[in-house]
């Protein structure tokens, strides 16, 4: 039997901070000072100390009541003083064990332990404890580990460059930030010029006045733009610090992933609990045949700023053969591809936006000529991402598709600007949807195939423009019989 | 197939809790409400509602609770106005949490939560022996000891 790390007493004590309301109330009641002020202060201080002592005592009692048992088959946590909670997680159910060593806990030799299963609340660990290194050593002896011999040695170790590239691509939308910053830098100037010009028409005196006042407009715009760039730089730095020192070892049963500088994280992932692997790319990565390997496993990549990454940016051809254990194979072609007539389905939205931006500008400039510069600027700013989106969606049309091989299913599709190659066991497929719009029905008898896999998140992967007969064949091969569906 | 009902001591415990809360409410009413008529009306209403809960709702509520354990599944039935029947395969159980209150062997206030793929099944008001038996039959105990 073990206890949590004694540093936990502070965390448990903090929960009772509300008790400080009593000294506070007392302080409010003695706001009027009198000759016995000193005596009153001493009395008050004793009371405050007593309350603080009580808070610490509660923390100590909570800590003492929190006990951990590590047996050969399960980890048990007993918690609570009045209401006793006993949570037992068998190792056979564990999908992920996370050990976090934040820099501020290192001097105390305390670590955060998280235990996740495929059950429990979404996006929250099933067991979260602050323990000592001794408990971690004991736990590591009991849970499956990567074999010393026979573990994958040819897994490419991520280089510093791949970590940097990964941080660039996944830091809050690099291109988006550059775009927004440009919008403010240039937009601020245009707004300033326009307002100055219109006001100068009124009187010369007003021009003098407004000239001084309006100087601040471009400054504010530059500041907002700079703020976006700074935010991105911060996000980039955090990502570099978070993923620095990335290491991965695996065998057929287990994977060990570790990374981080300020907070070193170690993950032990049970391979059989991985729902699917997801090779993600954006357009630039696609052009250079680079991918980032992500996985879907309960608990992995939990948290707002975490990504379920297994391998940061790598060249596709440099992936080790050992990754075949998790279904990442090379040279698999799309067995079922979108029909040529499905082209429009992929690009219709950016094409319409791109085609409409300048006509809208001309109409607006005709109605309000004073706004002509601003609408022209807005039209150009809308045109740039639209053309980019057309390129992305065109690439998506060329590369999307579905393949079925062995007991695996592979889907290549896109979501916004990200390309996904999802590889999963067929048994992990929980739902298949065929969706047909009236346009798909009228032109070429096509439909969208939407696939849902096991996992904590309700995520779907959609391939548009598949021939209806081929879609039926896919559903048949995946044991989702839809012959009777009236499409 | 085994059938389980909530611990009979539970209903007594909950009646004591309701009675205590009633007395507390009446004391608060007496302290804060000066008008006799309003005080009397409020007190009588509180007593009436408490009696209704203790003598009608609680027995009804507990009579609808039942747990059935088969070779493969566990089924929970409950609900006074709207009936609920929840069933789960043992194979879907990932882990369990037992919540015990002070003197739970006398009060019967033991709760078992089974965490499954995609949700959980809560089995409240079990006696200690029934709870242990369900843990054993569902295979949770075996998985802890393997």
CB pairs under 8 A between A and B: 67
- Phi and psi at residue A243, in whole multiples of 5°? -100, 5
pLDDT of residue A88: 93
pLDDT of residue B1: 84
Number of residues assigned to chain B: 146
pLDDT of residue A122: 73
Which residues, other chains included, contact A20 with Cβ-Cβ below 8 Å and sequence gap of 6+? A51, A52, A55
pLDDT of residue B19: 96
Residue A276: CA count within 13 A, CB half-sphere: 29
For residues A408 and A451, the answer to whether their CB atoms sit within 8 Å is no
Query: Mean pLDDT over all residues of chain A?
Result: 80
pLDDT tier at A410 (50, 70, 90 boundaries)? very high
pLDDT tier at A395 (50, 70, 90 boundaries)? very high
Q: What is the mean pLDDT of residues A457-481?
A: 88
Angle value at C-alpha A146, between A144 and A152, nearest 5 degrees: 155
C-alpha closest to that of A92 among A256, A295, A253, A308? A253
CA distance to A66, A85, A114, per residue, from A79 (Å): 4, 5, 16
Q: What is the mean pLDDT of residues A245-270?
A: 86
Q: Does A38 touch chain B (CB under 8 A)?
A: no
Q: Does A120 touch chain B (CB under 8 A)?
A: yes
Q: Which residue has the higher pLDDT, A468 or A27?
A: A468
The model's pLDDT over A49-103, given as tens digits with 9 standing for 90+, comes to 787 788 888 889 989 999 999 998 899 999 998 899 999 999 988 999 999 999 9
Q: Left if phi > 0, otherwise alpha if psi is -120 to 50, otherwise beta: which for A152?
A: beta
Q: Does A82 touch chain B (CB under 8 A)?
A: yes
Range of weakest confidence among A196-210, A407-421, B57-71, B84-98: A196-210
Alpha helices (H) in chain B, listed in sequence order: 8-32, 36-52, 58-64, 104-107, 128-137, 140-145
Q: Which residue has the higher pLDDT, B109 or A173?
A: B109
Strands A74-79 and A263-270: unpaired
pLDDT tier at A449 (50, 70, 90 boundaries)? very high
- Tokens, residue A178: 């550059």
Interface touch B115/A82, C-beta < 8 Å = no
Which residues, other chains included, contact A282 with Cβ-Cβ below 8 Å and sequence gap of 6+? A169, A417, A418, A419
Interface touch A119/B102, C-beta < 8 Å = no
pLDDT of residue A298: 87
pLDDT of residue A414: 93
C-alpha closest to that of A457 among A278, A255, A337, A282? A278
H-run or E-run covering A50: helix A37-65
Q: Looking at chain B, which residue has its C-alpha nearest residue A457? A: B118
pLDDT of residue B58: 92
pLDDT of residue A419: 92
According to DSSP, the residues that pair with A419 across neighbouring strands are A281, A414
Rounded-to-integer distance, Cα A274 and Cα A116, Å: 12
Q: Rg of chain A over CA atoms, in angstroms?
A: 30
Cβ neighbours around A320 below 10 Å, total: 18
Q: How far is A218 from chain B (nearest CA, A)?
A: 53
Q: Which residue has the higher pLDDT, A333 or A156?
A: A333
Cβ neighbours around B40 below 10 Å, total: 12
The model's pLDDT over A320-332, given as tens digits with 9 standing for 90+, comes to 565 676 667 777 8
Q: What is the mean pLDDT of residues A395-399?
A: 93
The model's pLDDT over A271-311, given as tens digits with 9 standing for 90+, comes to 888 889 998 888 888 888 888 888 888 888 776 666 777 77
Rounded-to-integer distance, Cα A111 and Cα A105, Å: 7
Strands A254-259 and A263-270: antiparallel
C-alpha closest to that of A427 among A408, A449, A405? A408
User: Which candidate from A82, A89, A118 shows the least CB-CB separation from B117?
Assistant: A118
Interface touch A88/B144, C-beta < 8 Å = yes
Q: Does A291 touch chain B (CB under 8 A)?
A: no
pLDDT of residue A412: 94
For residues A402 and A474, the answer to whether their CB atoms sit within 8 Å is yes
Interface touch A90/B98, C-beta < 8 Å = no
Which residues, other chains included, contact A218 with Cβ-Cβ below 8 Å and sequence gap of 6+? A188, A189, A192
Percent of chain A with pLDDT over 90: 23
Give, for all 146 residues of chain B, the pLDDT tens digit.
889 999 989 999 999 999 999 999 999 999 888 888 999 999 999 999 999 999 999 999 999 889 999 888 899 988 888 888 888 888 888 899 999 999 888 888 999 999 988 788 899 999 999 999 999 988 887 777 65
For residues A111 and A100, the answer to whether their CB atoms sit within 8 Å is yes
pLDDT of residue B43: 94
Residue A403 three-state SS: strand
């Amino acid at each position: 039997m073990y206890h949590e790390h004694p540093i936990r007493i502070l965390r448990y004590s903090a929960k009772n901070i509300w008790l400080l309301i009593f000294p506070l109330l007392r302080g409010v009641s003695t706001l009027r000072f009198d000759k016995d002020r000193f005596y009153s202060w001493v009395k008050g201080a004793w009371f405050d100390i007593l309350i603080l002592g009580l808070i610490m005592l509660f923390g100590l009692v909570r800590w003492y009541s929190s006990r951990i048992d590590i047996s050969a088959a399960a980890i048990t946590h007993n918690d609570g003083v009045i209401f006793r909670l006993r949570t037992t997680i068998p190792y056979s159910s564990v999908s992920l064990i996370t050990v976090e060593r934040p820099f501020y806990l290192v001097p105390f030799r305390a670590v955060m332990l998280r235990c996740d299963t495929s059950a429990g609340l979404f996006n929250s660990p099933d067991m979260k404890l602050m323990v000592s290194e001794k408990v971690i050593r004991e736990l590591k002896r009991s849970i499956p580990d990567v074999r010393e011999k026979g573990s994958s040695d040819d897994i490419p170790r991520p280089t510093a460059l791949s970590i940097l590239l990964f941080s660039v691509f996944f830091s809050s939308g690099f291109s988006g930030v550059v775009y927004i910053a440009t919008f403010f830098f240039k937009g601020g100037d245009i707004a300033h010029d326009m307002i100055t010009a219109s006001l100068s028409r009124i009187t010369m005196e007003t021009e003098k006045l407004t000239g001084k006042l309006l100087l601040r407009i471009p400054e504010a715009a530059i500041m907002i733009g700079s703020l976006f760039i700074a935010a991105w730089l911060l996000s980039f730095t955090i990502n570099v610090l978070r993923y620095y020192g990335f290491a991965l070892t695996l065998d057929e049963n287990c994977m060990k992933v570790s990374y981080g500088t300020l907070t070193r994280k170690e993950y032990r992932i049970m391979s059989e609990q991985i729902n699917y692997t997801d090779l993600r790319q954006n357009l630039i990565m696609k052009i250079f045949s680079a991918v980032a390997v992500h996985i879907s496993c309960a608990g992995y990549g939990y948290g707002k700023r975490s990504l379920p990454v297994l391998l940061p940016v790598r060249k596709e051809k440099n992936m080790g053969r050992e990754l075949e254990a998790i279904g990442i194979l090379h040279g698999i072609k799309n067995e079922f591809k979108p029909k040529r007539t499905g082209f429009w389905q992929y690009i219709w939205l950016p094409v319409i936006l791109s085609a409409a931006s300048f006509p809208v500008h001309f109409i607006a400039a005709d109605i309000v000529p004073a706004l002509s510069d601003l609408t022209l600027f807005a039209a150009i700013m809308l045109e740039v991402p639209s053309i980019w989106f057309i390129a992305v969606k065109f690439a998506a049309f060329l590369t999307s598709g579905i393949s079925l091989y062995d007991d695996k299913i592979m889907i290549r599709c896109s979501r916004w600007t990200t390309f996904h190659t999802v590889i999963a066991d067929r048994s992990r497929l929980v739902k298949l949807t065929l969706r047909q719009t009236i346009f798909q029905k009228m032109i070429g008898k096509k439909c969208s195939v939407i696939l849902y896999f096991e996992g904590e998140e309700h995520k779907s992967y959609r391939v548009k423009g598949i021939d209806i007969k081929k879609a039926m064949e896919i559903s048949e091969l995946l044991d989702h019989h839809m012959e009777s569906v009236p499409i | 197939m085994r059938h389980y009902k909530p611990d009979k001591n539970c209903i007594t415990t909950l009646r004591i809790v309701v009675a205590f809360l009633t007395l507390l409410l009446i004391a608060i009413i007496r302290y804060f409400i000066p008008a006799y008529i309003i005080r009397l009306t409020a007190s009588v209403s509180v007593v009436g509602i408490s009696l209704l809960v203790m003598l009608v709702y609680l027995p009804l509520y507990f009579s609808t609770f039942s747990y059935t354990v088969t070779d493969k599944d566990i089924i929970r039935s409950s609900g006074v106005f709207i009936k609920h029947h929840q069933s789960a395969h043992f194979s879907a159980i990932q882990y369990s949490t037992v919540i015990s209150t002070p003197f739970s062997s006398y009060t019967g206030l033991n709760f078992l939560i089974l965490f499954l793929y995609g949700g959980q099944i809560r089995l409240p008001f079990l006696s200690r022996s029934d709870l242990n038996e369900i843990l054993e039959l569902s295979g949770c105990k075996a998985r802890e000891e393997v």
